[in-house]
Amino acid sequence: MSQASPVAPHSVVPEPARERRAPFLLRALILVLSLAAGLLALWLLGFVLDDIGDIDRPNLASFEHGALEPALVAAEGEQQRTLAAVVRDIGRQHEIQAGLRASIDNARGTLEQMLEVRRLALEKGGDWQEAEGAALATAQQRFLSSQDQLDESIELTASLEQRRHELTASMADLLQRLDVQREPARAEYQRALKSREYRVAAFKLAFLLPVFLAAAWLVARRRRGLYRPLFLSFLLAATWQLGAVIHQHFPAEFFKYLALGAGLAVVVAFLVALLRSAARPSGAVLLKRNREGYRRWECPSCAFPIRTGTEAGPATCAACGLQLYHECASCGATRHSQLPHCEACGAS
Ligand SMILES: [Zn+2]
Ligand SMILES: [Zn+2]
C-alpha cells in the first residue's frame, strides 16, 4: 500500500478509509446485527401496515340489510322453516313405511302358514276348530290393516313430496326476487370496498413515505457516518414495505413501471454521484485525496512525485501545475496549498 507505484493520472476515485477499517470479525458482526435490525424493522413496519389494513372493513350483510324488502326476507325465512319441516315429515313417513312393510311381511308369513294348516286339515277330513278359524280371521285382519296403513302413508308421502316441490319452486322464485334486490346492494358494497382500498393505500403511504424519506435522508446525509449500516438496513426495510404496499394496492401495470422507474433512478443517481466525485472531488473526499498525496510525496492531483517539503519554499507540480506549497498569508511561512491549515501557525 505504501509502495510508491505510480497511480494513473487523475485516478482520484476515493477508496473508502481503507487503513481505518475495522477487523473482519467486527465488520461481520456489524453486518449481521445491521441485517437483524433491518429484519426487525421490516417486521415492525409490517405489523403497523397490517393494522392500518384492518380499518373500517365494510360488511356485506349490513349493505344488504338496507336494500332488501323486509317482507320478502321474512317470507324466505318462513318458507325455509316450512320446507325443513316438510322434509322432516317425509323422512318420518319413510321410516313408518319401512316398519309397516316389515310387519306386512311378517303377517303374510303367518297367514300362509295358517292357510296351509287349514288346507291339510280339510284334506284329512275336516278337523278345523272354531278357535283356529278366529285366529286366521284376526291374522287376516291384521294383514289388511297394515296394508291400509301403508297405503295411507304412501299417499301422505306423495302429498308431502308435492308440497316440497311447490315450496322449492316458490323459494327459487323468492330467491330470484331477493337477488334482484341484492344486486344494487352488492354493487354498492363493491364500490365501498374499492374506495376503502384507496383510503387504506393512502393511509399506508402516509405512514410509510415519511419513514422511507427519513431513512433515505439519514443514509444520504451520513455518507461516512458511524451508523450508516444501521440506517441503510432501515432504508432497505422501508423500501421493501413501500414496494409491497404499491404492489398490493395499485394495478400490476402501474407497479411494473414504478419499480423499473425507481430502479433506474437509483442506478442513475449512484452513477452520477460516482462520476461527480471522480471528476471533481469535494469536501471530505478532496481532503482525503490531498492528505494522501502529501503523505506519499506525490501530487494529490496527478500523482507526480514531489521532491521537496515546506522547508524548500513555494512549489508547484511539475507535471500538472497544481500549486503544492505557498507562502502563508498570516505568518509568512511556507504552507501546504492543498490542505486546510498552515502547519506553522494553524491558520485555515
Ligand atoms: Zn501534479
Ligand atoms: Zn501560517
pLDDT digits (tens, 9 = 90+) for 168-184: 999 999 999 888 888 88
Burial of 111: CB neighbours in 10 Å, binned 0-12, 13-18, 19+: middle
Query: Residue 257: pLDDT above 50?
Result: yes
DSSP at 315:
E
Q: What is the pLDDT of residues 307-329, one digit of tens each?
A: 888 888 889 999 999 999 999 98
Residues with CB under 5 A from ligand 1 (ion): 299, 301-302, 304, 317, 319-320, 322
E strand segments, the chain:
315-316, 323-327, 334-336
8 C-alpha vs ligand 1 centroid, how far in Å?
A: 11
Query: Residue 8: pLDDT above 50?
Result: no
Report yes or no: 50 and 198 within 8 Å, Cβ to Cβ.
no
The number of beta carbons lying within 10 Å of the beta carbon of residue 68 is: 16
Query: Residue 301: pLDDT above 60?
Result: yes
The number of beta carbons lying within 10 Å of the beta carbon of residue 303 is: 23
309 C-alpha vs ligand 2 centroid, how far in Å?
A: 15
Q: Which one of the ligands is nearest to 7 CA?
A: 1
Which amino acid does the sequence have at 84? A
314 C-alpha vs ligand 1 centroid, how far in Å?
A: 14
Query: Residue 278: pLDDT above 90?
Result: no
* Distance separating alpha carbons of residues 299 and 278, to the nearest angstrom: 16
294 C-alpha vs ligand 1 centroid, how far in Å?
A: 11
Q: What is the pLDDT of residues 75-99, one digit of tens each?
A: 889 999 999 999 999 999 999 999 9
Dihedral, 174, 179, 185, 188 alpha carbons, nearest 10: -170
45 C-alpha vs ligand 1 centroid, how far in Å?
A: 52
332 C-alpha vs ligand 1 centroid, how far in Å?
A: 24
Query: Residue 14: pLDDT above 60?
Result: no
Question: What pLDDT is recorded for position 275?
Answer: 84
Instruction: Locate 192 and state its grid cell.
Output: 365501498
340 C-alpha vs ligand 1 centroid, how far in Å?
A: 18
Q: Which one of the ligands is nearest to 330 CA?
A: 2
Query: Residue 6: pLDDT above 80?
Result: no
Would you give the end-to-end CA distance of the chain in angstroms? 30
